[in-house]
Amino acid sequence: LFLKQIRAVGFKSFAEPTTLNFTKEMIGVVGPNGSGKSNITDSIRWALGEQSTKSLRGANMDDIVFSGSTDKPAADFAEVTLVFDNQRDIFSTIKTDVVEITRRFNKKTRDSDFFINGEKCKLRDIQDVALETGLTKSSIAIISQGTISTFAEAKPDARREIFDEAAGLAKYKKRKLEALKQLAKTTENLTRISDIKLTLE
């Protein structure tokens, strides 16, 4: 079992500190319309660094902070922590058996802070780690309303991407792109050096 727990406070409809424990391999969430089912999957993607407010179904980042109700005031910040089991070393760069990823958004400063196992880190670190979870936007680990038809109607290239992500290839593709960029830069530098060498000879 990989994602063990979600803790959320001030995130969308989670006004109070809320803990969800996932104790089974496959989780189904059921409930009436508008009860907050999709907010759970939004919280996972948000904690894993999602920057597109549109994909989180909001107009701007403020929309992900609990906006208040008749009996509860609006929250000042939103915080979500995902607890992953890492006993099988799913995270290549993190060696602890349990990995906690936290995102906190402060409505006043409009800043997001990210933490891995309680240590502050950069969005980029989270995005790298997110690729290893297989829980990113293009993955099929989270099947929301519409995902099945999107998958069925996807063009072959797009469908291939979904399989690649499920098989854990996405992170290698990203690393390959980075390596190719580095290679192009180095080749350019080499050309420049040989030009300089020629002018000196």
Q: Which residues form the interface with ligand ATP (CB under 6 A)? A: 12-13, 31, 33-39, 63, 65-67
DSSP classification of residue 60: S
Cβ-based nearer residue to ligand ATP, 77 or 91: 77
Query: Nearest approach, Cβ of 72 to ligand ATP (angstroms)?
Result: 9
For ligand ATP, the closer CB: 40 or 99:
40
d(CA 44, CA 50): 9
| Minimum distance from residue 65 beta carbon to ligand ATP (Å) | 6
Least distance (Å) between residue 126 CB and ligand ATP? 22
| Residues 6+ away with beta carbon under 8 Å from 159 | 151
Nearer to ligand ATP among residue 38 and residue 127 (C-beta): 38
Q: Which residues contribute to the annotated binding site for ATP?
A: 32-39
If the CB atoms of residues 21 and 70 are measured against ligand ATP, the closer one turns out to be 70
Shortest separation between residue 128's beta carbon and ligand ATP, angstroms:
28
Those residues whose C-beta lies under 8 Å from the C-beta of residue 155, and which sit 6 or more positions away, are none
Contacts of 76 (CB under 8 A, 6+ apart): 10, 65, 106, 107, 108
Alpha helical stretches, state H, the chain:
37-47, 123-133, 147-153, 156-166, 170-200
Q: Which residues are annotated as a binding site?
A: 32-39
